[in-house]
Structure 1
Amino acid sequence: MKYVAQILIFVLISIGAQAQYENTYVVSPRLSLSDDGSVIAISGRRIEDVSARHGFRYPIDFYNAQTGEIIDSYMGSEDDIIGLSLNADGSSITYNDNNGQLALVNLTTIDQPLVLVVGGNVEIRYPVWNPTGDEIAIAMGAGLRFYDTGQPTTVRDEYNSGILGFAWSNDGTTITYTKHVESEPDGILSIVAIDEQFQVGIVNEIPIVSSPVVALNSVGNMAVTISQEGIIVTDLNDETQRILSDNGLQLGITSLDWSPDGNRIAAGANELIVVWDVETGDILETMQVDSIAYDVTWSPDGQHLYYSGEPAGIYRDGLPLQESIANSNPD
């Protein structure tokens, strides 16, 4: 009996360790929240699979944002996923991996991905869904590329090298992107209009400090980028700029998001999230986190702040998603 008990304890420990491993996100977890706030997608797990090219698969897990329950998992990627984006209602996702593959996955046919770009093109970055339509934009070494997901073909290439980051406007008619230039200041904030045929026209170009991250407010007339002193808010109409100081925190910002009401900006950084008041420039909140805070995202009602990190994957308001939901619904 003694040996049976020891074996049973070992088995239980092994099961517990396996469960903990399978629910731990430690591979640069990335997050996307659907525009309607219903679905969260998260990458960052690594699962052993001898049938995979390198012996591992990197799933994308889909969660109900209100209940915290898992909806489904996409198990198709054999490389680390470095960017993902849900469409407006959370029914489809596009992602790219570190081997340069760009794919489209519909949750109703989750085991049948549509590969838009085969692996090998490592210059693909930042797939982002148009908030109002069926189009995907990606940054490439040569500039921007657009895909119509209804007819999965390349719609348009916009050649403008050096693009660092970009964001769609909420109405889907413009894209604002940043790029590095050899001048002083060393960056450009470009606003481009996109018509129904995906013809792109430059609306304006504003000198800025080079920034790999950009976010727009809901109206689309203000952009926020990063600087050594904190963040810079730029009025896209009159080109005025204001620095919102990080008070010497030297954040190393990885992501930015503007609250839906336009009054707050959140920044994710290494072991810290900072929230500014846009009007006063004051820091409203600093939130200590356990790892790098990736993909900081406001909920559609502006009441919650999501981000991805290690080891729980999805966090809301500084707590793992399920724990945050439980605290909000104690009954």
Structure 2
Amino acid sequence: MTLRDHTDIVYNVVWSPDGQQLASVSADQTIIVWDAQTGQPQRVLRGHSSWVFGLGWTPDGRQLASGSQDQTVIIWDTATGQAAATLHGHTDRVKSVAWSPDGRQLASASLDQTIIIWDVTSGPISFILQGHTGRVFDVAWSPNGRQLASTSDDTSVIIWNTATMQPKRTLLGHTDSALAVAWSPDGRQLASASYDRTIIIWDAASGQPQKTLADDTGWILDVAWSPDGQQLASASDAQTVIIWDTATGQPITTLRGHKNIVTSVAWSPDGRQLASASEDQTIILWDAVTHQLKNTLHGHTDWIIRLTWSPDGKRLASAAADQTMIIWNAASGHPVATLQGHNDQINSLAWSPDGQLLASASDDRTIRLINTRYMQPSCQWVTRNLSAAEWDFYLPAGMPYHRTCPDRPVHPSLIEAARDLARAGQIDEAIAQLKHLLSVDPTLDLDPAVEAQQAYQEAVQYLLDQAGEEAQAGDVEAATTTLEQAVALDPTLSLDPQAEAQRLAQPTFENSLEAAVKAAQNNDTETAQAKFEEAIEFAAPLDSAESWHALCDAGTRHDLAEIVLDACDKAIELEPDNGLYYNSRGIARLQLGDQQGAQDDFAKFEAWLEAE
């Protein structure tokens, strides 16, 4: 069954939870809901003003969320086909988003000095929290969902009562912008990080500072509690991650591995790993027990701003200034998906408690909700990994290839792409690519060096064969160009491209001339004339006096001087000292009634004989 109704590229398809419907999104700015049994469109949803990329059903199948290049997320009522909500409300950059523990609300913090509470079940803004006198950088829900904490460049931390949506306490203690905030797992404490190079641990009930953790080496840009609440991790512009003992307020260890500012830290849900992100465009996974570097993740093309683990700890999401989000397989360190749609840097990420939705906040002033459910079962629906062309199209430039479906082999086009590098003479690059593919899929039966060299030799031989075919067709110019490519690819070839092309074309000329002579001998004048003219065309690119003379001599022997006289002239132009050529042209001129011209040529022929 083939479903045809979109008028432009289709970017995504997602099944409804009950499997009865299929929704698709397209560059034609529409979402189509299809009847999975009949293949007929049930509804065409229109509301976006640009390409639609993201798509996700609610668990009950009653709503559908779509994300578009128009910077909006629209939540649709699938029964009516009407847009239920678009998360569009801030008037400046959105720096942070956080889900309520029950997953029903989303809080967003913005440089417009406000926090917006969104009801994600219906879409509209529930509350706008105003209390800060400066830009709001971060927001975090307490574990029980009853309180919300926010930080600002007014140096304060505000704790909000989520029942009344009013400020409950304003925590003052930092002397510079408060950048990040995190609740302890039991909700009794709050940690805030600041440009003043300190972390303050606050008593959430009284609002009093309990400990001040000082990092004299640099600004503290992010802070995260370990799941057991006994440790804090902080990210610093000194390119380090510090792990602190929350009981004593003393540093336990300093993790070094990044080559630029560390922007974000996040503990895995089981507390066994710590992830850190940096302006060096990498993510490092650390063993939280041994404090050793486990893996370095490469994929973003600009500095990474935020990290967050999925609730089950199997995935890690990162957001970057390259306007993309990458979802990683935490075990392998390989990207599962690269999500695009924002048109400015992405500042914050937050998983819904059930791990199905990922919210992102961006400098483009929008918040996007992305349904990640389709990413897990997708390998159950497809029979292969991405091809080379698909990888280049959908993934950021420079991202190393990996198997998005680990139990499927590397797509054959990747091996062919490496061979193409070898065929282009880039042997070292081809070998490196093949070695990478072997590391990605150890089951591949190939030797990178042998494979690359074989492809290289095949490429050279292909060019030689192609030149031969072109020359045999009489296209000496094309054959010369092809041979030049072969010599450029393999400088050890000892040949002159033009001379070799002419040599390869010589038999074609000779065969054509032979056919002309046979036709003349059979008194088939019409065919003979046509074949002589064909032979003249083949002789032209040879630029050979001998070939022109062969035409001249054969033509005059069969009374076709009118056709071959030019060939006689060209032979003499190329070798004016060869008397035989004058004799042949003399005969041609005599046949055409040019007595004087013939006498002159015969005289030169006789003089040549005497000299010989």
Check whether TM > 0.5. Answer: yes
Residue by residue over 1:54-85, the C-alpha shift from the partner in whole angstroms, topping out at 9 and shown as x without a partner, is: xxxx3211123444343322222332212222
Aligned to 1:122, what secondary structure does the other structure show? coil
Q: Which amino acid aligns with 2:188?
A: D
Which amino acid is the alignment partner of residue 109 of structure 2? S
Q: 2:319 aligns with which of 263, 268, 277?
A: 268
TM-score of the pair, normalised by structure 2:
0.42
Distance 1:78 1:180, change over 3 A: closer
**Percent sequence identity over matched residues?**
21
Contact 1:42 1:313 in 2 (8 A): no
Kept after mapping to 1: 8 A contact 2:107/2:118? yes
Q: CA deviation at 1:189?
A: 2.6
**TM-aligned CA distance change 1:200 to 1:100, over 3 Å:** closer
**Residues 170 and 207 of structure 2 are in contact (CA less than 8 Å); yes or no, is this contact kept in structure 1?**
no
Residue 25 to residue 32, structure 1, CA distance change in 2 (3 Å): farther
Name the amino acid aligned to 1:170: P
Q: Spell out, residue by residue over 1:27-66, the C-alpha distance to the aligned partner (whole angstroms, 9 max, x if none).
A: 34421223443331113374xxxxxxxxxxx321112344
Count of paired positions? 278
CA RMSD of aligned residues (A): 2.7
Specify the alignment match of 1:299 in structure 2. Answer: 352
1:317 equivalent in structure 2:
370
Tell me, yes or no, if the aligned pair for 2:95 and 2:138 is still in contact at 8 Å: no
Residue 131 of structure 1: CA displacement?
A: 2.8
Of residues 105, 109, 134, the one that matches 2:160 is 105
Gaps of 5+ in 1: 1-19, 47-57, 182-186, 320-331
Matched, 1:245 2:302: no
**8 Å CA contact retained: 2:263, 2:304:** no
Corresponding residue of 2:14: none
Q: Which has the larger radius of gyration?
A: 2
Alignment partners' CA distance in 1, 2:111 and 2:250: 40
Please give the secondary structure, in 2, of the residue aligned with 1:152: coil
1:155-202 deviation digits (Å, cap 9, x = unpaired) = 111222223322111232211123354xxxxx333222323xxx3244
Please name the residue that 2:126 is paired with: 71
Q: Which residue of 1 aligns with 2:103?
A: 37
TM-score, length basis structure 1: 0.74
**Partners of 1:75 and 1:192 in 2: how far apart?**
33
Distance in 2 between the 1:252 and 1:179 partners?
14
Letter in 2 for 1:175: L
Determine if contact 2:156/2:170 at 8 Å carries over to the other structure.
yes
User: In structure 2, how many angstroms separate the alpha carbons of the residues matched to 1:240 and 1:76?
Assistant: 41
Instruction: Check the 8 A contact 2:94/2:367 in 1, yes or no.
Output: no
Deviation at 1:114, TM superposition (A): 2.0
> 1:116 aligns to what?
171
* 2:332 aligned counterpart, secondary structure: coil
Kindly indicate whether structure 1 or structure 2 has the higher relative contact order, using CA contacts under 8 Å at least 6 residues apart: 1
Verify: 1:203 aligned to 2:252, yes or no.
Answer: yes
Aligned amino acid, residue 211 of structure 2: R
Alpha-carbon spacing, 1:272–1:30, altered in 2? closer, same or farther (3 Å) = same
How far apart are the structure 1 equivalents of 2:163 and 2:192? 24
Looking at structure 2, the residues matched to 159 and 309 of structure 1 have their Cα atoms a distance apart, in angstroms, of: 30
Structure 2, gaps ≥5 residues long? 1-85, 373-612
Change (3 A) 1:152 1:76: same
Q: Which residue is 1:91 aligned to?
A: 146
Whether the 8 Å CA contact 1:30–1:84 is kept in 2: the answer is yes
Cα contact 1:273–1:289 (8 A) shared by 2: no
Please give the per-residue CA displacement for 1:296-319, whole angstroms capped at 9, x wherever unaligned.
112222212111125563311189
Aligned pair partner of 2:361 in 303, 308, 326? 308
Q: For residues 29 and 158 of structure 1, what CA distance do their matches in structure 2 show?
A: 25
